Amino acid sequence: MEISRPYLLFLGDVPDALAAKTGLGIVDWRRDWCVGQWRLPGCKADAKLPEMNAAEGADAGAKTMIVGVVNAGGKLPEHWISSIEDALAAGMDVAAGLHQRLADIPRIAEAAKKHGRKLLDVRRSTENFETGKGTKRPGLRLLTVGTDCSVGKKYTALALEAGMQAAGLDARFCATGQTGVFISGRGAAIDAVVADFISGAAEWLSPATEPATWQLVEGQGSLFHPSFAGVSLGLLHGAQPDAFVVCHEPTRTNMRGVAHPLPTIAEVIEATIAMGKLTNPAIRPVGIAINTAALAETDALETLEAAAAKHDLPATDPVRFGVDPIVKRIMTEFPS
């Protein structure tokens, strides 16, 4: 799936910033791909982009309007439909990552047809994937794995892309979730693939490359999350990573959405190696990424030092302290 750029971000009238995290994530990483934001009265999120409606966005050159929100149930609110019709009428494609397909909403489907524009549902891949083969592919791959969902796996992969490129490595981010697809303009939401094709989709997402090229695959879920571990395992097998980084949020008590406690970083390292060696016997950890946002600076530094010492791995908070220690470890472990 390829999404035409630049984007106009549609934030609707979401009640808070969390509901606009897709849109805000795009701006964090691809500010220069965004010509503006379109907010309806009452919108409580702000991506700090120029305000514009559909016609103004099209005039500013936007090729795709991104519905940059998540909402409970994954359904498009009825009163947003006319905004999407306006965008199509103004000559833009419209992309969304809701569970509900844009094309299943008759007024939107009709408007797209009438104006000859594309509707892109990033949670509904149009690729016909094959089942995974498990065969080793040329090139280098790194997967970000987690002690839970939403612990910084996408952020870490994107920060590593920037850090490794700055260090002169050939590195590119591989999106596996909806926000990641918007940020890279390419990819597939692996959690929306039919179960039989999870590892096959991961193989398609991180294909054979030149031997020294790094693909930085955005992880999903956790091998220890009772809702999503199947996705995490299929992604691990398909991505066949040479290296992985464990992402962690130290103040969380329960795994997201369920009653289960978080696994330890050591358990995640052990399980990732045990299961990952099926498709890459040389799989190894190269770092720990800890989200220390909830900790004071001294506590954050102590937490990182303790984790580094315990696991003999570089540990950092990519947001707060950057990814240099992990990039250095990668360059040491994989001299090219």
- Binding region for its own copies (CB under 8 A): 131-135, 190-196, 198-200, 223-224, 226-235, 237-238, 257-260, 271, 274-275, 278-279
Q: How far is the CB of 99 from its own copies (least distance, A)?
A: 9
Task: Determine the residue type at 275.
Answer: M
Residue 151's φ and ψ, nearest 5 degrees, are -120, 15
User: For residues 16 and 196, which CB has a smaller minimum distance to its own copies in the complex?
Assistant: 196
Quick check: 15 and 175 in contact, CB under 8 A? no
Residue 333's φ and ψ, nearest 5 degrees, are -75, -30
Cα angle vertex 234, ends 29, 329, to 5°?
55
User: For residues 76 and 327, which CB has a smaller minimum distance to its own copies in the complex?
Assistant: 76
User: For residues 62 and 217, which CB has a smaller minimum distance to its own copies in the complex?
Assistant: 217
Q: Cα(22)–Cα(18) distance, rounded to whole angstroms?
A: 9
**Sheet bearing 171-174, strands edge to edge:** 171-174, 214-217, 140-146, 243-248, 284-290, 315-316
Q: Which two structure tokens, joined as six digits, stand for 128? A: 């016909």
Instruction: Please report how many Cα atoms fall inside a 13 Å half-sphere around the Cα of residue 32, on the Cβ side.
Output: 0
User: For residues 74 and 77, which CB has a smaller minimum distance to its own copies in the complex?
Assistant: 74
Q: How far is the CB of 285 from its own copies (least distance, A)?
A: 18
Q: How far is the CB of 104 from its own copies (least distance, A)?
A: 14
Q: How far is the CB of 206 from its own copies (least distance, A)?
A: 14
Q: Which residues sit opposite 186 in a β-bridge? A: 2
User: For residues 53 and 176, which CB has a smaller minimum distance to its own copies in the complex?
Assistant: 176
Q: How far is the CB of 160 from its own copies (least distance, A)?
A: 24
Q: How far is the CB of 220 from its own copies (least distance, A)?
A: 9
**Sheet bearing 34-39, strands edge to edge:** 34-39, 7-12, 64-67, 93-96, 119-121
User: For residues 58 and 198, which CB has a smaller minimum distance to its own copies in the complex?
Assistant: 198
